[in-house]
Structure 1
Amino acid sequence: MAIDELLDEHEQSRRVQEWLRRNGGGLIGGVALGLAAVAGWKYWQQHQAQASMREADTFQTAMDSVDRDGAKAAPAVNGLPAGTYRSLAALRLAKSQADLNDSAAAIATLRGSMPQDTTLRPIFERRIAQLQIQSGKAQDALASLTANDGPTLDLRGDAQFALGQVDAARESYRKALALTDVGSPQRKLIELKYTQVGGTPAPSQTP
């Protein structure tokens, strides 16, 4: 090997050592931060998994309490943190309360656990409206319904019919039919109600 090549290698080695002396602390710190970030991420994931398991266990305990104690399980359900689990448990509790003809308690339960989820919220609104119609408060039921899907429009028609608003009910049932699949079990019932208020389902609407 030529002497100049040896000198070049020596010079390169010296430069590397100098660079490490100048930047070694930062390099080690960066590696340490990276390792800490990875460890923190894994800890967070584990913490979230454990928290989810605890929520699921608490939810199941509340559901078991409703199945066992019925309406007396209200404290267990109301003690759940706000979210999907509480909403689902509230639906079960409200049913137990309604079965005891305590519509006021059932409505309060549903309102107290009203979800923000766009899928669950209309279900709560319809259940509240059903209870209000059954309690002779059809006007309140109309105010409770905000969605424009088929089941909601169907129920809106029921409330309007209960109030003697036949023309409005007919229009609601017509719109509900337009949004209800031909093969839906609910469709026949909507058609019957639509006919009852003077509507005539189009041939293409009839399964």
Structure 2
Amino acid sequence: MLYQNIKNQIEALDMDSISAERKTILQPLVDFIQSKVAAKKSVNLDFICTHNSRRSHLSQVWAQVAAKYYEINNVFCYSAGTEATALFPVAAKTLENTGFEVHTLSTGNNPVYSIKYAENSHPVICFSKTITSEFNPTSEFGAIMTCSSADKGCPFISGAEKRIPITYEDPKAFDNTPQQLEKYNERSLQIATEMKYVFSNIK
């Protein structure tokens, strides 16, 4: 069962706020997931951006939560970057503020976080990694490009069954400004709303 604060947050998300143009962009992801569910196969989703530090992690976590909310089983969400850096602490803090249990499993230049969203579900393990990391699937996965620079700079992703560009503006632009927390939360909720929409369309 999802933690109550997270469940409340998901139920408050307004899918009517998603534009028709944006729904068209999301449709290939709906189709990919639906095809896997219909074939009774695992749904492997790898969310990719340049540094695997912000947007890709937020997308990974919210997609996993949306699958749980709509009781769509065998969905496994991953994230990666064209290069590895670190999960930006404010991204983790933004999720914690939304009701996730965030624990730091290891520290250093690239800390490893456990992000738990439900009482009896595996937490999402978050740290920065490249698309060739052994932590991620090597075949039969959908590669969701969450930033335009990764989409342009990474034309081929080995093992990806389908490549789906769903790009988001980078909240990094507001780092070290008074709007930082507000903008990270805004981006997190946009991603959450769109992942809710995607999984709400799976039959």
TM-score, normalised to structure 1, is: 0.23
Larger radius of gyration: 1
TM-score, normalised to structure 2, is: 0.24
Larger strand share, 1 or 2: 2
Higher relative contact order at CA 8 Å, sep ≥6: structure 1 or structure 2? 2
